Structure 1
Amino acid sequence: MATIKDVAKEAGVSVATVSRVINNSPKASAVSIEAVKQAMAKLGYRPNANARALVSQSTQTVGVLVGDVSDPFFGTLVKAADKVAHTHGKHLLVCNGYHHAEQEKAAIELLINSRCESLIIHSKALSDQELIQYANEVKGMVLINRHIPELADRCISLDNHKGSYLATEFLIRHGHTKIAHIASSHDIEDAEERIEGYRAAMRDNGLEPSSNCIEYGEPDSEGGEQATRNLLTKSVDFTAVVAYNDYMAVGALSVFEENGVQVPQQVSMVGFDDGMLAKYVHPKLTTIRYPIELMAEKATTLALMLAKGEKPEVESNRFSPTIVRRMSVEKR
């Protein structure tokens, strides 16, 4: 494998000159640039990225931590971040944290050690204090789908309470008073806020939500199936369901179909996220839109600005959900 010394010898220049050409130094002459490029091409020499980063203080890489990139939700996040990074001549380094503290920590350490100046971090397992410490170390770090008061200007988040409130209120306006909630069993703020949003909407409309009407499960289709089976097994009296997300809603739809329960004629259903899945199930799913694409674009833009020491305009980083009406809700 060719070395920088081999390139210098082939080009008839010094190692320092080769280094200047590699790092686009204005001190390199046109003749030297051409000679070095020809030598590099002939020898098949590729500059070491880490070595270049030490000189330029930048790897031109944006670090992204997500829960699981195979989840379409996170796939949308990564694609949106990549679009913004690409317009700034940068590439993404993506890590999965799987909502596990040690894996999230290891991923952030890797991104920092890889000299990523801008970080977009989706962390649910690490404490506020741990994330504050990382943010103090990396000025271009931005949190997405998380709000920490001490880092408020570097957090891009969604009002989950409002989203669940909207979903529940929408069902109430359609005449439903017996509304169940299938919730995520994960101990994260999203789950807590969505449960509280459901309860608040019920109470504000003179309805007292029973703990018997709330079932928990993994935030996926299997978790939705299990939670719905539990509701049916307990003979809970309900005419509508608010689901933690679209995956749990789809799991519920499957169980209803298996048990001869018609949606929306007998039970109405509202999901959360408005992923691609919601448009293609039967019936098409009424849901709460989670604007993750817009949020990821804003998070990436903010991270790039902060890394360069620029001050963004003062504006709200809290996004509001909206309801998407489809075919899974019917008036009582």
Structure 2
Amino acid sequence: MATIKDVAKLAEVSVATVSRVINKSPKASKAAITAVTQAMKTLGYRPNANARALVSQSTNTIGVLVGDVSDPFFGAMIKSIDNIARQHNKHLLIGNGYHNADSERDVIELLINSRCDTLIIHSKSLSNDELIAYAQEVPGMVLINRLIPEIADRCIALDNHRGSYLATELLIKHGHQHIGYICSNHDIEDTTQRKQGYLDALQAHQLTAPQSYIEYGTPDEDGGEVAMTNLLAKNQPITAIAAYNDYMAAGCLSVLEGNGLTVPNQMSLIGFDDGLIAKYLHPKLTTVRYPIQIMAEQATQLAFQLATAAKQPILDTTQPDSSITHMFVPTLVKRLSVMTPQ
């Protein structure tokens, strides 16, 4: 494998000159650029990204931590981040945390060690204190889908409680009094907030739900199937279901149809997220929109602003961007899976 010394020898210049050409220094002459570029091509030499980062104190990569890249929710998030990154001639370095503290920590450490000065972090398992410490170390770090009061100006979050409240209230306004809830079994704040939104909406309308109206499963189609099967087995007088997300709702729909119960004639069903699957189910799923695309775009823009300000603290006199929304509010998407009980 060719080295920088080999390139310098073939181009008949010094190693320092090769370094200047690689790092696009204005001190590099046109003749040197031509000679070095040709030598690198001839030798098949690729500059070491880490070595270049030592000179520039940065890389052209944005570090992104997601729960699981195979989840369409995170696919949409990554796509939006990449759209903004490309406008800044940056590329993404992505790691999966799987909602596990050790995995999330390992990914963040890798991203920092890879000299990503801009980080978009979706962490659900690390403590507030640990994330605050990382934020202090990396000025261009922004949290998405999480709000930590001490660094609220570097968080882009969704009011999950409000979304679940709206979903449950819609069912109540359609005349449903016995409403079940299909809940995620992941021990994260989204789970707690969405379940509480369901309970608070019932309470606000003088309704109650016994614990037997709530079932748990993994936040995917399989989990929805398991939870719905268990709920049906208990023979509850439920006429409507609010689900933790659209994928669990899809699993519910499959079980209901398999047991001869039609949606919405015999059971109303509402999801959460408004993922791609929602409008392709039959019937089309009424749900709560999670605006992850615009949230991811704003998180990326904010991260760039913070990273730039950190590099030029003396020259930067701009005020925080007031156009950045830090707490988003979910909205209802009414389709065909909810109706008044017959």
Range class of TM-score, shorter chain: over 0.9
Are 2:173 and 1:173 equivalent residues in the alignment? yes
State the match for 2:320 in structure 1. 312
1:308 aligns to what SS in structure 2?
A: helix
Q: Which amino acid aligns with 1:138?
A: V
Give the match for residue 45 of structure 1.
Answer: 45
Give the percent of matched residue pairs that are identical in Structure 1 and Structure 2: 64
* TM superposition shift of 1:197: 0.7
Unaligned runs of 5+ in 2: 310-315
Measure the CA separation in 2 of the matches of 1:316 and 1:74.
20
Measured in 1, the distance between the counterparts of 2:108 and 2:325 equals: 26
CA displacement, residues 88-113 of structure 1 (integer Å, 9 cap, x when unaligned)? 01000000010011111101100000
1:302–1:312 contact (8 Å) kept in structure 2 = no
- Map 1:116-135 → 2, pairs under 5 A: 116-135=116-135
Using the TM superposition, name which of 11-20 and 260-269 deviates more: 11-20
Counterpart Cα distance in 1 of 2:25 and 2:228: 64
- Residue correspondence of structure 1 range 205-220 to structure 2 within 5 A: 205-220=205-220
Q: Deviation digits for residues 26-68 of structure 1, max 9, x if unmatched? A: 1111111111112211222111111001001111110000010
Measured in 2, the distance between the counterparts of 1:89 and 1:234 equals: 56
Deviations 1:241-270 (A, max 9, x none): 000001110111111111111110010000
Report Cα offsets for 1:61-96 as digits up to 9, x if no partner. 100000100010001111110110110010000000
Please name the residue that 2:334 is paired with.
325
On the 8 A contact 1:163/1:288 being kept in 2, the answer is: yes
The SS at the match of 1:2 is: coil
- d(CA) in 1 for partners of 2:210 and 2:333? 27
2:312 is matched with none
Residue in 1 that maps onto 2:142:
142
> Take 1:240 and 1:37, find their aligned partners in 2: how far apart are those partners?
67
The match for 1:79 is 79
- Structure 1: runs of 5 or more not aligned: none
- Residue number in structure 2 paired with 1:109: 109
Spell out, residue by residue over 1:112-171, the C-alpha distance to the aligned partner (whole angstroms, 9 max, x if none): 000000000001111111111111111111000111101100111000011001101111
Superposition deviation, residue 312 in structure 1: 3.1
* Aligned-pair Cα RMSD in Å: 1.1
- Distance in 1, Cα, partners of 2:3 & 2:189: 52
- Whole-angstrom CA distance in 1 between matches of 2:257 and 2:325: 42
**Aligned mates of 1:66, 1:201 — CA distance in 2:** 30
1:202 equivalenced with 2:175 (yes/no): no
1:206 aligned counterpart, secondary structure? coil
2:57 is matched with 57
Partner residue, 1:162? 162
Query: Partner amino acid for 1:48?
Result: N
The residue type paired with residue 5 of structure 1 is: K
Rounded Cα–Cα distance in structure 2 between residues aligned with 1:215 and 1:209: 12
1:281-296 superposed matches below 5 A: 281-296=281-296
Query: Does the 8 Å contact 1:80/1:297 carry over to 2?
Result: yes
| Partner SS, residue 288 of structure 1 | strand
Q: Quick check: 1:62–1:91 contact (8 Å CA) kept in 2?
A: yes
Normalised by the length of structure 2, the TM-score is: 0.95
Count of residues in correspondence between the two structures: 332
The one-letter amino acid paired with 2:333 is V
SS in 2 for 1:304: helix
Q: Say which SS state the counterpart of residue 293 (structure 2) adopts.
A: helix
**Alpha-carbon distance, 1:302 to partner:** 0.8
After TM superposition, the score normalised by the length of structure 1 is 0.98
